[in-house]
Amino acid sequence: MQNNNLLRQPQILYMKSFLNHKTFVVSFFILAFLIPIYKYVTIKGQSLLLIERFFPMSGWIEIFILAIYGGFLFNQMIKQQTKFRTLAWSVFSIVFFAQLFLGILIDQRFLMTGKLHLPVPAIIIGGPVLRGEIGFMPILFLSTVLISGPAWCSQLCYFGAIDNFMAHGKRKNNIQLIWNLKFSFFVLFILAVIILRLLKVSNLMATILGIAFGLIGLIISFYFSSKKKTMMHCSYWCPINYLVNTFSFIYPIKIRINNSCDKCMVCTNHCKYLALTQKSIFKHKTTISCTLCGECLTSCHKSALEYRFFKYKGEKVRIFWIGLTVVIHVIFLTLARI
C-alpha cells in the first residue's frame, strides 16, 4: 500500500502543476481580452467596464479581480464541474438583472448605452430582423457561439439560468425531444417578426409583444420545466437555442460515448436538454441539442461519456473546454448588459 502511494505522488504533483499552469493561461487570456477593450473601446463616450463609469482609472482593478476570479472558477470547475458551472451561471444572471434594475431605478450608467432594451433572449435575433439593423448583443452572441458553440445555452444565457434553476432535480421519466416541434416554434417566431416589420408596427406594440413572449417563456420555466425536471423553455420555446443547436452540428468539440458504455440509460434522466436518447446512445453520441454542460459525465458509473476534439479525447479536452468557457463567462460578466 505504501509503495502504491509513493507511485501515485508524482502523478498527483504532475496534475497539480498542469492545472496551475492552465490556471495562469486562463487568467492571462482574460487579461488579454479585457485590457484592449478597456483601453480602446467605448460606447457613446463611456467605458464598457462598469466600475470605470463611476470611478475613473478603477478599470484596472476590476480587470485584475476578474482575472483572479476566472482562475479560481477554472480550478473549482475542474473539481466539481456541475456545481460551479451552475453557480457561475447563476452569478452571471443575478449580476445581469441587477444591473438592469439599477439602470432603470437609480442610474443609467448601469445600462450599456443608457437606452432600455427588453432582456428577452429572443430579442437578440428578433430585434435585428424587426429593425433591419444589428446591435451590440447580436454581435456578442454570434462571437460567443463561434468560439464556444453551445456553451451559450448552458452557461451564458441570463434566461437559461432561470430555466436551469426551475428544472433542478432528477427526471423520473425518459422524455425525448420532438425536433419538428422545436423547428416549428422557431419558424413561427421568425415569420411573426417579419410580419410585424411589414406591418410597420409601433415601438410600443413591438415592446408589448416582446414582453408577452418573455412572460410566456417564464410561465413555461416555472410550470413545465419545474414539473418535467427538463429545461422546456430552452429546449422548445427559445429561438436562440434552436440556432445554437443547429450550429453545434459543425462545432468541433463534442461529448461522445466510448465502448465502456453498458447501455444502462441512467444518463438519459440526467440530461436537461434531452440530448441523450436510447437511439443516440446506441450510436455512441449525443444529439445536436447537447450543450456540452457535462452534467451527464457524473451520472455514468462506467465513465463512458467524454469530451472529444477531433482526434483528442478525455480529461485534457474537458479541461480545455472548461478553460475556454470560463474565459467567455468572465468576458460576459464584464460586458453583457442591456
Q: How far apart are CA 276 and CA 285, in angstroms?
A: 8
The confidence score (pLDDT) of residue 34 equals: 94
C-alpha cell belonging to residue 123: 430579442
The confidence score (pLDDT) of residue 20 equals: 63
Q: How confident is the model at residue 193 (pLDDT cuts 50, 70, 90)?
A: very high
Quick check: 30 pLDDT over 80?
A: yes
- Sequential DSSP letters for 116-145: -----TTHHHHHHHHHS---HHHHHHHHHH
Q: How confident is the model at residue 17 (pLDDT cuts 50, 70, 90)?
A: low
Q: Is 35 exposed, middle or buried (0-12, 13-18, 19+ CB in 10 A)?
A: middle
pLDDT tens column, 249-264: 899 999 999 999 999 9
Instruction: For 47, list phi and psi in degrees, rounded to 5.
Output: -65, 150
The confidence score (pLDDT) of residue 13 equals: 46
**Maximum Cα–Cα distance for the chain, whole Å?**
78
Mean pLDDT of the chain: 87
State which amino acid sits at residue 100: L
pLDDT tens column, 294-312: 989 988 889 899 999 988 9
Q: How confident is the model at residue 1 (pLDDT cuts 50, 70, 90)?
A: very low
* Number of residues in the chain: 338
Quick check: 104 pLDDT over 90?
A: no
The confidence score (pLDDT) of residue 95 equals: 92
Quick check: 7 pLDDT over 60?
A: no
Q: How confident is the model at residue 4 (pLDDT cuts 50, 70, 90)?
A: very low
The confidence score (pLDDT) of residue 3 equals: 47
Q: What is the pTM of this model?
A: 0.87
State which amino acid sits at residue 119: P
- If one counts every other C-beta atom within 10 angstroms of the C-beta of residue 7, the result is 9
Quick check: 99 pLDDT over 80?
A: yes
- If one counts every other C-beta atom within 10 angstroms of the C-beta of residue 31, the result is 15
Quick check: 337 pLDDT over 90?
A: no
Q: How far apart are CA 12 and CA 16, in angstroms?
A: 6
Instruction: For 229, list phi and psi in degrees, rounded to 5.
Output: 55, 35
C-alpha cell belonging to residue 221: 420555466
Quick check: 41 pLDDT over 80?
A: yes
The confidence score (pLDDT) of residue 16 equals: 54
Quick check: 6 pLDDT over 90?
A: no
Q: How far apart are CA 244 and CA 147, in angstroms?
A: 12
Quick check: 5 pLDDT over 70?
A: no
78 three-class SS: helix
The confidence score (pLDDT) of residue 19 equals: 57
Quick check: 113 pLDDT over 80?
A: no
2 three-class SS: helix
- Burial readout 53-68 (b: 16 or more C-beta within 10 A, e: otherwise): beeeeebeebbeebbe
What residues have CB less than 8 Å from 259, skipping those under 6 apart? 284, 304
Most confident range, picked from 40-44, 177-181, 214-218, 275-279: 214-218
Lowest mean pLDDT among 15-24, 60-69, 176-185, 268-277: 15-24
Q: How far apart are CA 273 and CA 7, in angstroms?
A: 41
216 three-class SS: helix
Quick check: 35 pLDDT over 70?
A: yes
Q: 140 vs 189, which has greater pLDDT?
A: 189
Question: Which H/E stretch holds residue 308?
Answer: strand 305-309
Instruction: For 104, list phi and psi in degrees, rounded to 5.
Output: -75, -45
